[in-house]
Structure formats: structure tokens, C-alpha cells
């Protein structure tokens, strides 16, 4: 017979057991209350469950243990008697004899603490609790298994001796005994107090048996066809108010008086009188009096102080209004929810595509641009490469004035994953392609079209190579004017792009210098190919700026159909190379980081606009067009170096890491070649790709990162980790953005189509509210401020739909001290993080000191060192004892005779 699972699969019709069950009774396991099958044996036919009660301990008994305790399946255990009582003393004796080899060693403590003399061992045929046996550890459970309560059969019973035959027992009628419940039922019963109205309908006798016809008619067409039930005031329910709760305050006694007339009702009236004035003698007497002189001397200082206070403090300022809370805290639910302002989708250009990037136009109201890309994996792109070459890649520029047709369509050489308007000249747009190339557009010729408030309906249809002929009348296609060299660019898709501010420019070493042109001429890109590149849109000095007519150039490029292409960056087309290439090496291991998102220390905050007037001012400032073809990169010798520019930047990697590094290049002492600096510090907080790395528009040293299933907030310069880290969400986070009007609010997009609104002043452990925007994954979030009373939030989904949501004023109105409160919160978290790091260092130091003290104590208490001869003598004695023990064991086992001891020597 085998042990384990194999031993529990066989059955025998009957066997003996140490504990027999009364005949006619059915055993039930504790806690079981359902019948199963005809037998109703719950303890044997119950389904297998992963957990077990506290009074049951599963055991594995081997074949040897079963033979010792006579608990072999199909011999001592049967279907009727699947349990056996084992004496506690026998188990303890087995534990002493076999020690750790005994199968009861895992439950040694439970057996020793058991109050009874016998323990119940149950054979688990169906492995209900995971093993072939289980041990019952309480007396109550043992009694319930050995002597289960008798179950009453309401409808029948099983005939003894025959297992499957059923005997029907009819119910027996008993006399009903009243316990007083009928009185309660009668009292609670609803009784009708109004007599029912009875109607009697009769017919003339001659019409009996005639067919009945029914028809419909309007009740107002027939006289008395309807009854009007008008409301009236029921005077029986008029309740006079006897008591009234009011609040009173102690006030001085008041006195009412009247003169001339008795006031009865308001009446317009006017009175003309002459003022009473002092005479010259009275004035002279009053000014020379001691009383007036004393009054002026006493009141002069107080009057002077009051006048100074009136100059410093506004006496007419409403203090109660300033101390009161904002009305937004008491607004209704509709005041805190996003309201859909508009949505944009195109059935021709954005169908079956996803939106990869959203950008608002910096100066023109109601203009938003989106990049649409194919939603395919890398393998699908390879398999469908021939089809994708025929499908155009576009950037759609939408306007609020026309939600059906895009105002402009920018043609791209490949799918665009990021693009950005130039801050100094919004007509220049830079984008990053999936193939690693950087693209430039110039939309100066279409500026009037974009500024027009009404959508233009041009009848001319523009055809573009690679696009179908079914183009809308309002669509205007713009071809890119410059494309970077694919040989010297990124080797993977460009995932993020930023323009450098117009305050400075960098040289080939990465050091910042003063920007003499006053316009943005450099940009930075990052890619998962482990590189960050800086680009300069000015042509190099070696390039020959030959004046090429635009018409001739277009005819050469497009012989089939000429198309007007700006010649702004003609010298950069297909010859554009990066100025600097920065690769960030890993700190501990070899290799490099693969950046996905980047955040510079000096960024533009052009999106933080307070009202529409500022937009118009900025637009007038940038009206002067810049001739980029005549701009050339100046020599760094003539430029003034800037030391106050922060050259550090944050990078979110493909593996969920946040890296903080410097882009400046360094020269090696031996080879004198340019080497990128290593990362200053790195942290792995996110469990997925980092989708967002963005600085707060209110605090330049606070950074928000979103990736995987959580987000984190970081403090630049802190090396202890994030100052705030969210719990893992049930859904993956896909996008995030700070609020442009409130310092403690930011928005998080998720893969289930919801947007979480976080308010740090209200909650820091969960979002303040969650609103569903779409049924699919949220790809991008971008807020924008139009005026102080109108803020928008652009949200895009995986199906290519762009939602424009109006932000409620509860989420856009900044309280008087919100910025300082949020700043204090960040400072407290930084101090808490620093304190935690200090405690870790202190505890590690304490641990080392304790270990050193323990080692010193061991050395002090150890015996003195022995000599070499003493050690050899002890080893020889131990070896002789070993030989003697070996001889004795061999004699006891019968492997040698006692008289052979002297003749056999051991090696």
C-alpha cells in the first residue's frame, strides 16, 4: 500500500475502526449546513476548498506512520468511519523516538497543549483541506464529528439497510395554538375608512347581445369630457407660528424722537435754510479761549496719527469680505464638474488613429493643434509598412469657429509624437518624428486665416501628394520646410521636444551664453535611443546662403504639381545636424538610460496667462517677423557667458526611473575628448514608462512625474526621494498636467477614460473628484487660460477624439493664501524626508557600534589561545574516540566479530 494521494483513492465496502458512528445517523463536518446528494454526507462530499477552520490541521502521514498507528486507508478507514481516535501519549512517544522524522513534528506544540487524552484523526479522502489526513485540535469539534446532532426529516427518511430507497412520510396535521400574533396583525392592517363608490352600468333590453364598438376621442372635444382638478388652499392645515428662534446681541439703549411732522408714509420733500454762523466777535472770543486751546493740544497728536493711518491703511476696505471663505466651497455639484465646451473629430484624417500630442496656440484664441498617429505596435508597423507609406501623417489645427473642418493641416514625413510652437514666433512649429527626424513648419502665410473669427469657405480644393482627392473645401495643407538629417539624428522615435528660452543659447560644450538675437533659436529633443540632442535652427557659417527663387525650387521638387513651400529653413533641409548629443550613463551598472520625457530647469511659462488682454499685448510684441534665413550662429568668443542659468534637467526613463543630471560636456584629461557627465542621482518609483515630467508653473523646483500605476512629486535638489508618492491605482495612469491657475491642483488621466482631479489643500491620499471623459484610454491632457473667467482643458483619447472641457471656477479661482499654503506643505514634506534620511543614517551607525561591542565581548570572554602541541593532542584523542565508536557500531550491526577487533586496523 502506498502513502500520500495514492493511498486515499481506493474504497472497500466495510472495515473496522476505533470510533464507530451510531447507525441511522449522518455525519456532518462542523460549519456545514447544506445537503449534497441522497446521502447528505457533507463531511465526505463537500467541495475542496483552499482554506480550513482553525480547529483543523492538515497532515501528511507516510506509509510507515500509518502502520505504526494502524490508520491505513481502506483497512482502518472506510466510508462510514473515516476517523479514528489516537492517544496523545502515543503521539508524544513517537515524537521522542523519531524526533524530526516523525510526521507529527509540525504539530508538536498543538499535541502537547491538547487538553484531552485522545486526539481525533480524520482521513481526508477528497483532499478537502489539501492533505490526506487532518487532525482535530479541540474537544468541541471532536464531539461534533463523533456525535453529530440528529437531523429531522421533514418529508421522508432512508430505509435502513437499503442505501438508495426513499420512504415518503406524509405531514401530520396539528392543532393550531394562538400566541397572540393575530391581534398585532389586526392592529397593523390597513382598513379603509371611506366607503367605496359604486357604479351601475345598464343597457336597454333590445341592445342585449349586440356587438360593442369602442373608439378614441379627445376629452376636450366632448362636453363634460374631462374634469379639471385645480389646487386650492386648505385652511385646515394653516399653522400659526407660536415660537421663533432668533439671535440677539446686547446693544446700548436707543431713543426715538420725531419733530415737526408725524411720519406716516415716505414722501419726496426738500427744505431750504440758511446756515447759522458765528459773528466776528464770537469767533475772536472762541479762538482766544483756554478751553479751545486745551482741546487742540490734546487732539492734535491723535489727529496726526489718524491721518497717517488713513494714508497707510484703506479705511473703506471690507474686512468681513476678506475674511470670508470663497463661495466656491459652497457651490453645487454642477459647479465642480467639467462641462464639455466642444469636441473635435475628423472621419477622414483622424479615423482609426490616436492623438499623441496636444498644443494650444500661444496667441490666437480658440486654436488648438493635435498630432494624429497610427495606433499600432512595432511588429504591426513592420508588417504594414507598405500600407503606411501611402497613408499621410498629419497635424490638425482646429478652431472653435469650425468644429467640423480643421483650419490647417500640416503634412509630416512620418508620424509625429511631439511638437511645439516657438515661444518667440508661434508661426514656427517644430516636431519630432517616429523615425528620429526633426521637422520644421512655417505657417506665416496663413496667419490671417487663423486670426479670422469666421470660418472661411474657399471653393478651391488643394491637392497634396499622398492624400486622397476627397478633401474638404476649408482644409489648407502646409508642407514642412525643413527636415533633419536621418544619419546624424535619433535612431528611435522622438518622444519629447522643448524650445530653449530666448534668454540664452548653448555652445557645443553645453555652456549657456547670452542670446543676442532675442528669439528662440535652439531646441532640445530626447529619444529612447539613450540620447538627448540640442538643435540650432540657424544655418551654420559654412553653409552658402544662395538665393533660390521659391517658384523654381517648388518646380524642381514637385514637377507634377507645384506647391508653395516657404524657404525659411532651406539651408537646413536634409543637412540639419544636432549641436550637442548628450548620453547619460548609469551610476552603478554599465549602460545608459533611455529617456522618454525631459524637463529643463529653465522652461517657458507662456501658458500661464491671466486674461485675454495679456494675450493681445504679447501678440503685438511678436508681430515683427524674424528673418531666420539671415540669422547665423554667433561665435562663443563674442558672447557673454551666463553663470546663473540652471543646466540641470530631469529625465523620465522607459524603465520608470527619474534621473537628475547636467547637460554640460566635460573634457577628459588624457584624451581631451568631450564626455557627458554622469547622472547626479536616480530613483525608481514608477512601475512603468514615465509619461509625464513637468515642473509646476508656480514653483520651478517642484516636478510632477506620472508613470505606470502611480505618480510622484519631487523637489529639485532633494536626494531623499519623492516628497509625495501616490498609492498604486486600480487603472494605469497615462497622462498628467499641473493646473495653470491653482498651485495645489493637477489633473491625472487614466486608461479607463477617467480624469482624476487632485487638490493638495483638500486631500493628499486620494483624488478630490473623478470624472469620466471617454470610454477608452486618455492619451494627453493640456489646460489653457483664455481669461480670468474662462479656462479650458483639452483631453484626447485613443480613438482620435479631442474634448474641450470648461474648467469650473472652483478649480480655477485661486484663494488669497493658496500659494503660501502649498509651499508650506512642500517644505514640511522636505523636512520630514530629510529627518527620515538622518534617522536611517543614525540607526545604521548604532547598528555598527552594537555589532562592534558584541565582537569585543566575545573576544574578551574567549579562552586563551592553545599551543600547537595541545591542539594536535586533542585532535588525536578525538580521532581515537571516533575509531572506538565505529568499532562498537560495526559489532552491534553484525558486520564484524568481537574477536576480530585486534586484527583489523582502520585507516
pLDDT of residue 143: 82
Same domain, 856 and 827: yes
Task: Please give the mean pLDDT across all residues of the chain.
Answer: 77
Residue 463 has pLDDT above 60, yes or no: no
Q: What's the rounded mean pLDDT across residues 14-40?
A: 37
* Residue 104 and residue 76 in one domain: yes
User: Rounded to an integer, what distance in angstroms lies between the CA atom of residue 783 and that of residue 779?
Assistant: 14
Task: Verify that 747 and 794 share a domain, yes or no.
Answer: yes
Tens-digit pLDDT profile for residues 362-402: 888 889 999 999 887 777 777 777 677 777 888 999 988 88
**pLDDT score of 823 more than 60:** yes
Q: What is the DSSP string of 43-94?
A: HHHSPP-S---TTEEEE---HHHHHHHT--BTTTB-SS--EEEEEHHHHHHH
Residue 733 maps to a domain: yes
On whether both 786 and 850 belong to a single domain, the answer is no
Q: Do 409 and 396 touch, CB atoms closer than 8 A?
A: yes
758-781 as b/e: b if 16+ CB within 10 A: bbbeeeeeebbbeeebbeebbbbb
Mean pLDDT of 274-280: 83
Q: Has residue 337 got a pLDDT over 80?
A: yes
- Indicate the pLDDT class of residue 300, thresholds 50, 70 and 90: very high
Q: What is the pLDDT of residue 900?
A: 53
Three-state secondary structure call for residue 287: helix
- Asked if the model's pLDDT at residue 165 lies above 70, the reply is no
Q: Give the torsion sign (CA, 230, 231, 233, 236).
A: positive
Strands (E), 752-845: 754-759, 769-772, 778-787, 790-797, 802-806
Same domain for 120 and 61?
A: yes
794 is a domain residue: yes
pLDDT given for residue 251 in this prediction? 52
| 847 and 885, same domain (yes or no) | no
Do 99 and 124 reside in the same domain of the chain? yes
Domain limit, last residue, from 101, 126, 146 = 146
Classify residue 49: in a domain, yes or no: no
Residue, of 897 and 442, whose pLDDT is higher: 442
Confirm whether 688 is domain-assigned.
Answer: no
Per-residue pLDDT, averaged over 414-421, amounts to: 92
In a domain, 133, yes or no: yes
- Asked if residue 140 and residue 61 are part of one domain, the reply reads yes
What pLDDT, on the 0 to 100 scale, is given for residue 330? 43
Is the pLDDT at 453 greater than 60? The verdict is no
pLDDT in tens, 100-133: 788 888 888 888 888 888 888 888 878 888 788 8
Q: Which of 365-374, 420-429, 723-732, 888-897 has the lowest mean pLDDT?
A: 888-897
List of E strands, 400-457: 408-412, 416-421, 428-433, 438-442
Residue 354 predicted with pLDDT over 50: yes
Q: Per mean pLDDT, which range of 446-460, 753-767, 779-793 is the poorest?
A: 446-460
- Mean pLDDT across 674-692: 86
pLDDT over 50 (residue 871): yes
- More reliable by pLDDT, 516 or 11: 516
Is the pLDDT reported for residue 882 higher than 80? yes
Report the pLDDT averaged over residues 636-643.
74
Over residues 254-270, the mean pLDDT reads 63
**Which tops the pLDDT comparison, 855 or 3?**
855
- Answer with the one of 146, 161, 195 that is the final residue of a domain: 146
Helices marked H in 762-867: 818-861
DSSP H or E stretch at residue 295: helix 290-312
End of a domain among 797, 814, 831?
814
pLDDT tens column, 170-197? 888 888 777 777 777 777 777 778 888 8
The torsion angles phi and psi of 683, rounded to 5 degrees, stand at -135, 145
Strand partners, 745: 759
| 68 and 131 belong to one structural domain | yes
Q: Are residues 72 and 141 in the same domain?
A: yes
Asked whether the predicted pLDDT for residue 309 surpasses 50, the reply is yes
What local confidence, expressed as pLDDT, does residue 247 receive? Answer: 65
Nearest residue to 414 via CA among 432, 398, 441: 432
**pTM, 2 dp:** 0.57
Indicate whether 496 pLDDT > 90. yes
d(CA 742, CA 763): 15
Question: Is residue 71 a part of any domain in this protein?
Answer: yes
**Counted domains in the chain:** 4
Residues 786 and 827 placed together within one structural domain of the fold? no
Domain extent, residue 876, equals: 864-896
**CATH number where 810 lies:** 2.40.10
Taking the C-alpha atoms of residue 372 and residue 352, their distance in angstroms, rounded to an integer, is: 10
User: How confident is the model at residue 162, as a pLDDT?
Assistant: 47
Q: Are residues 735 and 810 in the same domain?
A: yes
Residues 792-817 have a mean pLDDT of 89
Q: Is residue 394 situated within a structural domain? A: no
Q: Could you tell me if residue 216 is inside a domain?
A: no
Residue appearing with cell numbers 534637467: 649
46 has a pLDDT exceeding 90: no
Amino acid at each position: 500500500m502506498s502513502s500520500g494521494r495514492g493511498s486515499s483513492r481506493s474504497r472497500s465496502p466495510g472495515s473496522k475502526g476505533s470510533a464507530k458512528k451510531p447507525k441511522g445517523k449522518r455525519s456532518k463536518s462542523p460549519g456545514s449546513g447544506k445537503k449534497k446528494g441522497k446521502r447528505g454526507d457533507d463531511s465526505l462530499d463537500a467541495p475542496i476548498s483552499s482554506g480550513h477552520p482553525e480547529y483543523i490541521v492538515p497532515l501528511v502521514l507516510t506509509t510507515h506512520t500509518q502502520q505504526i498507528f494502524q490508520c491505513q486507508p481502506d483497512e482502518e478507514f472506510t466510508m462510514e468511519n473515516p476517523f479514528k481516535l489516537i492517544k496523545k501519549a502515543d503521539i508524544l512517544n513517537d515524537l521522542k523516538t523519531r524526533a524530526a522524522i516523525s510526521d507529527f513534528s509540525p504539530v508538536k506544540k498543538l499535541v502537547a497543549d491538547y487538553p484531552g487524552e485522545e486526539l481525533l484523526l480524520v482521513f481526508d479522502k477528497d483532499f478537502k483541506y489539501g492533505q490526506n489526513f487532518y487532525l482535530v485540535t479541540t474537544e468541541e469539534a471532536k464531539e461534533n464529528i463523533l456525535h453529530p446532532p440528529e437531523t429531522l426529516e421533514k418529508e421522508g427518511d432512508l430505509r435502513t439497510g437499503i442505501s438508495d430507497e426513499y420512504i415518503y412520510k406524509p405531514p401530520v396535521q396539528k392543532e393550531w395554538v394562538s400566541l397572540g400574533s393575530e391581534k398585532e396583525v389586526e392592529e397593523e392592517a390597513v382598513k379603509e375608512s371611506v366607503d367605496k363608490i359604486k357604479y351601475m352600468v345598464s343597457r336597454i333590453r333590445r341592445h342585449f347581445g349586440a356587438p360593442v364598438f369602442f373608439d378614441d376621442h379627445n376629452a376636450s372635444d366632448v362636453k363634460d369630457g374631462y374634469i379639471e382638478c385645480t389646487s386650492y388652499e386648505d385652511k385646515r392645515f394653516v399653522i400659526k407660528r407660536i415660537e421663533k428662534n432668533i439671535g440677539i446681541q446686547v446693544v446700548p439703549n436707543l431713543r426715538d424722537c420725531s419733530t415737526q411732522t408725524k411720519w406716516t408714509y415716505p414722501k419726496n420733500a426738500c427744505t431750504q435754510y440758511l446756515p447759522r454762523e458765528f459773528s466776528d466777535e464770537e469767533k475772536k472770543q472762541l479762538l482766544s479761549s483756554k478751553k479751545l486751546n486745551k482741546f487742540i493740544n490734546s487732539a492734535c497728536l491723535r489727529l496726526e496719527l489718524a491721518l497717517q493711518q488713513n494714508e497707510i491703511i484703506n479705511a473703506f476696505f471690507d474686512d468681513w469680505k476678506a475674511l470670508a471663505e470663497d463661495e466656491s466651497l459652497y457651490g453645487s455639484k454642477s459647479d465642480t464638474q467639467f462641462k464639455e465646451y466642444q469636441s473635435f473629430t475628423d472621419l477622414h484624417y483622424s479615423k482609426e488613429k490616436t492623438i499623441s500630442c496636444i498644443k494650444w496656440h500661444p496667441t490666437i484664441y480658440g486654436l488648438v493643434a493635435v498630432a494624429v498617429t497610427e495606433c499600432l505596435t512595432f511588429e504591426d508597423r513592420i508588417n504594414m509598412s507598405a500600407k503606411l507609406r501611402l497613408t499621410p501623417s498629419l497635424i490638425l489645427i482646429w478652431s472653435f469657429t469650425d468644429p467640423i473642418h480643421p483650419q490647417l493641416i500640416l503634412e509630416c514625413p512620418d508620424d509625429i509624437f511631439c511638437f511645439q510652437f516657438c515661444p518667440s514666433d508661434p508661426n514656427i512649429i517644430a516636431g519630432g518624428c517616429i523615425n528620429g527626424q526633426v521637422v520644421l513648419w512655417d505657417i506665416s502665410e496663413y496667419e490671417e486665416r487663423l486670426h479670422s473669427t469666421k470660418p472661411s469657405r474657399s471653393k478651391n480644393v488643394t491637392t497634396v501628394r499622398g492624400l486622397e482627392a476627397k478633401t474638404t473645401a476649408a482644409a489648407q495643407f502646409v508642407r514642412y520646410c525643413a527636415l533633419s538629417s536621418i544619419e546624424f539624428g535619433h535612431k528611435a522615435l522622438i518622444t519629447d521636444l522643448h524650445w530653449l528660452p530666448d534668454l540664452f543659447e548653448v555652445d557645443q560644450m553645453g555652456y549657456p551664453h547670452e542670446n543676442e538675437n532675442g528669439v528662440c533659436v535652439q531646441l532640445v529633443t530626447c529619444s529612447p535611443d539613450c540620447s538627448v540632442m540640442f538643435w540650432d535652427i540657424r544655418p551654420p557659417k559654412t553653409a552658402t546662403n544662395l538665393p533660390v527663387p521659391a517658384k523654381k525650387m517648388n518646380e524642381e521638387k514637385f514637377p507634377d504639381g507645384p506647391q508653395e513651400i516657404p524657404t525659411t529653413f532651406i539651408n537646413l533641409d536634409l543637412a540639419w545636424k544636432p549641436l550637442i548629443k548628450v548620453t547619460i550613463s548609469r551610476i552603478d551598472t554599465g549602460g545608459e538610460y533611455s529617456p522618454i520625457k525631459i524637463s529643463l530647469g529653465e522652461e517657458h511659462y507662456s501658458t500661464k496667462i491671466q486674461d485675454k488682454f495679456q494675450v493681445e499685448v504679447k501678440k503685438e510684441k511678436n508681430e515683427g517677423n524674424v528673418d531666420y534665413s539671415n540669422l547665423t550662429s554667433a561665435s562663443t568668443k563674442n558672447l557673454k557667458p551666463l553663470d546663473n542659468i540652471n543646466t540641470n534637467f530631469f529625465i523620465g526613463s522607459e524603465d520608470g526611473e527619474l534621473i537628475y543630471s547636467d547637460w554640460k560636456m566635460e573634457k577628459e584629461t588624457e584624451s581631451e575628448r568631450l564626455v557627458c557627465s554622469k547622472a547626479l542621482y536616480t530613483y525608481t518609483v514608477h512601475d512603468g514608462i514615465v509619461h509625464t515630467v513637468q515642473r509646476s508653473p508656480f514653483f520651478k523646483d517642484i516636478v510632477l512625474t506620472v508613470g505606470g500605476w502611480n505618480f510622484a512629486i519631487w523637489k529639485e535638489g532633494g536626494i531623499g526621494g519623492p516628497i509625495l508618492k501616490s498609492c498604486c491605482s486600480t487603472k494605469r495612469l497615462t497622462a498628467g498636467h499641473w493646473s495653470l491657475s491653482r498651485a495645489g491642483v493637477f489633473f491625472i488621466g487614466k486608461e479607463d477614460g477617467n480624469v482624476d482631479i487632485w487638490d493638495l489643500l483638500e486631500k493628499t491620499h486620494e483624488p478630490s473628484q473623478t470624472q469620466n471623459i471617454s470610454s477608452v484610454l486618455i492619451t494627453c491632457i493640456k489646460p489653457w487660460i483664455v481669461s480670468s473667467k474662462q479656462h479650458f482643458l483639452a483631453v484626447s483619447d485613443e480613438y482620435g477624439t479631442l474634448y474641450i472641457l470648461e474648467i469650473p471656477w472652483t478649480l480655477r479661482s485661486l484663494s488669497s493664501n493658496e500659494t503660501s499654503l502649498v509651499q508650506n506643505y512642500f517644505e514640511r514634506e522636505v523636512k520630514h524626508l530629510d529627518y527620515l534620511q538622518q534617522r536611517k543614517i543614525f540607526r545604521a551607525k548604532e547598528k555598527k557600534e552594537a555589532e562592534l561591542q558584541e565582537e569585543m565581548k566575545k573576544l574578551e570572554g574567549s579562552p586563551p589561545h592553545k599551543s600547537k602541541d595541545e591542539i594536535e593532542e586533542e585532535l588525536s584523542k578525538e580521532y581515537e574516540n571516533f575509531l572506538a565508536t565505529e568499532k562498537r557500531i560495526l559489532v552491534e550491526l553484525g558486520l564484524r566479530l568481537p574477536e576480530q577487533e585486534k586484527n583489523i586496523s582502520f585507516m
